[in-house]
Chain A
Amino acid sequence: MPLTIVVTAKQVLDPETPPSALQIDPSRKRMVGPANVPPVVNGFDENAVEAALRIKDALGASNVKITVLSAGKSFVLDVIKKPLAMGADELVLVQDDACENLDAFQTARVLAAAIKSMGTVDLVLCGRQASDWDQAQVPLAIAEFLGLPCVHITRKVEVKDGTVVVERVVPDGAEVIQVPLPAVITVSNELGQPRYPTLRGIMASTRKQPIIRKLADLGLNPADLKPKVELLDLYIPVRQKKCEFISGDNDEEKGRNLARRLREAKLI
């Protein structure tokens, strides 16, 4: 039996979109970018895919199976298939209209039910948080719902003798932690850059079709997925600060004038 890894992934608004191009859609209470900017796979989720691929590299391709799992109302297939192009084996999408407005708690319920339906899963890897709602809750909730131990925010993940050994990022360094499998681990950008899909990977991914599941397939009823955290309002805060630009005939003079101005303002 190969080691089974599930990596959760979310399709998000591209966080590199310039703030000036962002708008709020009040009816959906969502941030929207320009129509010509495609969404991306959440960056931390790509770090989690990379962590899974490194385990596959270390243990041998045939000894590890990586399933990428996402939930949502609709997907841009070319985007959400990127982890397949990076080297993951399989993509499962819980695609259901009722997945449009789930909060973290209910998203985790859906993902946990999907993971349960897969049978034996040894390791669940998640990005530390999603760059849209920045909640950092879903992985912890998956762990609670599945009754699994969890280590949150790691920079290194290795599988050894039925355990996972990770480095958890803490303010003054890292903790080396060992947990027996199965476990839930969240991955941060300190892990390092996710690999780029190779041409071969992209070709292989175009042939793979996602496995689509509905909430009913997972034994879930949309009526039971009422959010625990109700979103009342979303707004872009007004910035009131006015910047005093330092003038000068050239850049060097501006630099000297800046120092004098800061002295005047008693800041240095």
Chain B
Amino acid sequence: MPGVLVFAELADGGLASISKELFSAGRPLAQALGEPLCTFIPAEKGGEVAKEAGALGADRVYVAEHPLLREPHPDYHLIALERAVQQVRPSVVLLGKTPLGINVGPRLAFRLGVGVAQDVVALKIEGDALIAERPVYGGNAMARVALREKPFVATVRPKAFEPLDPTPGRTAPVQAIPVAIEPAAVKVKVLERKKVEATGIRLEDARVVVGGGRGLGGPEPFQQLEELARLLGGAVGASRAVCDAGWLPYQYQIGLTGKTITADLYIAVAISGASQHMAGVSTVKNIVAINKDADAPIFQEARFGVVGDWKKVLPAFTDEVRKLLQQ
């Protein structure tokens, strides 16, 4: 039996998108191993999500319910996952490359004395090994790595796999895993949550994103980017250099260590296209680049490009967009 175990995360009361993507990533592995695709749902209440997991293709669902699993506290979730792994003894454990996954996945692996393939974009079983591909050197190169000791643990990059559509009526057996969490034994205590009030459309969800880079020269030009984004019903983002310079808060950062966007259209203004920025836009099909340097790497990734001074290109572009939208 054992199985391929997907560590599920919740968002807005249902399965998070990354968890649905993990079912896609895990299904071929389960087939290759001849083992079931299982999921582990640590949550305050897991009932509805367990049904959703069944419809999405899980063959077996394990649920650990505990009030402390309401918040994404890595230590509590690590305790729960360790317990689940003891019981299920899976061949593979898949997690998302999320704030929770990048904490829990590696620490689980090290406790079990095995390695972890982090931030992978492709996976397959070959003989007795799990072979994974992962971007390295800030996305400038790809590494192919092998894990040979079970369980194979991997964290998967969001948007690297298409989420599966649910099959209505499909169900999977659900089993409860009792988890005891002793808060006093967990040394990491959250005292306070400082939430940044979100205004407008979430960058990760926006269909159109207008991004600005170091080439803008300061914070003021972002007002022009805001104007264009508003016109197109989109959101504004930025390169890391912009946030490091303090022109915009870090919530705007797109890239390897910032946000991953999934827009249909990304308009990059005065962004050179360093690979660590491009890691955050790798699933965007339509990249439009405005840059004065014809050799900027962004043009290698762009579908449409304008070589020119953004100070002249952008206002004319915005005015024309406004006119076209009014027609």
Q: Name A's B-contacting residues (CB within 8 A).
A: 13, 15, 19, 22, 24, 31, 103-105, 108, 128-129, 131-137, 140-141, 143-145, 149-153, 165, 167, 169-180, 183, 188-190, 193, 227-237, 239, 241, 243-246, 250-256, 258-263, 265, 267-268
> Which residues of B lie under 8 Å from residue A239 when comparing CB positions?
300-301
Q: Which of B305-327 contact A (CB under 8 A)?
A: 305-309, 312-321, 324-325
Give the complex CA separation of A170 and B299 in angstroms: 32
Instruction: List the 7 closest pairs (A to B, CB-CB), nearest first.
Output: A228-B115, A255-B316, A259-B320, A251-B312, A255-B317, A251-B308, A252-B316
> What are 8 A-B residue pairs whose CB atoms fall within 8 Å in the complex?
A31-B140, A136-B102, A149-B188, A172-B196, A229-B117, A236-B141, A241-B300, A241-B301
A45 → chain B closest CB, angstroms: 14
- B317 near A227 (CB under 8 angstroms)? no
B159 → chain A closest CB, angstroms: 15
Q: Is B160 an interface residue (CB 8 A)?
A: no
> Which residues of A lie under 8 Å from residue B52 when comparing CB positions?
none
- B317 near A152 (CB under 8 angstroms)? no
- B257 near A188 (CB under 8 angstroms)? yes
Give the complex CA separation of A172 and B190 in angstroms: 15
> Which residues of A lie under 8 Å from residue B319 when comparing CB positions?
256
- B306 near A245 (CB under 8 angstroms)? yes
- Interface residue from B264, B297, B309 paired with A251 (Cβ < 8 Å): B309
Residue from the set B102, B106, B142 with the largest chain A CB neighbour count within 10 Å: B106
> Which residues of A lie under 8 Å from residue B236 when comparing CB positions?
none
If A105-B110, A243-B300 touch, whether A255 touches B307 (CB-CB below 8 Å) is: no
- Interface residue from A108, A134, A167, A258 paired with B137 (Cβ < 8 Å): A134
Q: Which of B58-114 contact A (CB under 8 A)?
A: 74-75, 99, 102-103, 106-107, 110-111, 114
> Which residues of A lie under 8 Å from residue B302 when comparing CB positions?
241, 243
Give the complex CA separation of A96 and B102 in angstroms: 30
- B192 near A260 (CB under 8 angstroms)? no
> Which residues of A lie under 8 Å from residue B136 when comparing CB positions?
31, 132-134, 234
- B144 near A232 (CB under 8 angstroms)? yes
A244 → chain B closest CB, angstroms: 5
The binding surface of chain A is classed by DSSP as mixed
Q: Chain B: interface residue count, which band? A: 35 or more
- Interface residue from B138, B276, B288 paired with A262 (Cβ < 8 Å): B288
**Chain A residue nearest in CB terms to B319:** A256
**Chain B residue nearest in CB terms to A181:** B187
Q: Is B303 an interface residue (CB 8 A)?
A: yes
If A244-B304, A259-B324 touch, whether A250 touches B102 (CB-CB below 8 Å) is: no
- A176 near B304 (CB under 8 angstroms)? no
**Chain A residue nearest in CB terms to B324:** A263
- Interface residue from B142, B190, B195, B240 paired with A235 (Cβ < 8 Å): B142
If A180-B187, A243-B289, A262-B288 touch, whether A229 touches B145 (CB-CB below 8 Å) is: yes
B31 → chain A closest CB, angstroms: 22
- In the complex, per-residue mask of B131-143: 1 if CB is within 8 Å of any chain A CB, else 0: 1001111101111
Residue from the set A19, A141, A261 with the largest chain B CB neighbour count within 10 Å: A19
**Chain B residue nearest in CB terms to A149:** B187
Give the complex CA separation of A132 and B195 in angstroms: 32
- B301 near A233 (CB under 8 angstroms)? no
If A137-B116, A189-B240, A235-B141 touch, whether A176 touches B305 (CB-CB below 8 Å) is: no
- B317 near A256 (CB under 8 angstroms)? yes
If A228-B149, A252-B313, A259-B321 touch, whether A193 touches B135 (CB-CB below 8 Å) is: no
Give the complex CA separation of A125 and B144 in angstroms: 30
Q: Is B161 an interface residue (CB 8 A)?
A: no
- Interface residue from B74, B189, B265, B276 paired with A267 (Cβ < 8 Å): B265
Identify 19 new A-B residue pairs, CB closer than 8 A, beyond the known A140-B106, A144-B110, A255-B316.
A13-B137, A22-B141, A128-B257, A133-B137, A135-B119, A136-B106, A145-B110, A175-B193, A175-B194, A177-B189, A179-B189, A239-B300, A241-B301, A241-B302, A260-B320, A262-B265, A265-B304, A268-B208, A268-B265
- Interface residue from A24, A134, A179 paired with B256 (Cβ < 8 Å): A134
Q: Which of B18-33 contact A (CB under 8 A)?
A: none
> Which residues of A lie under 8 Å from residue B196 when comparing CB positions?
172-173
- B188 near A177 (CB under 8 angstroms)? yes
> Which residues of A lie under 8 Å from residue B320 when comparing CB positions?
255-256, 258-260
> Which residues of A lie under 8 Å from residue B117 when comparing CB positions?
229
> Which residues of B lie under 8 Å from residue A143 when comparing CB positions?
107
- B306 near A258 (CB under 8 angstroms)? yes
> Which residues of A lie under 8 Å from residue B192 when comparing CB positions?
175-176
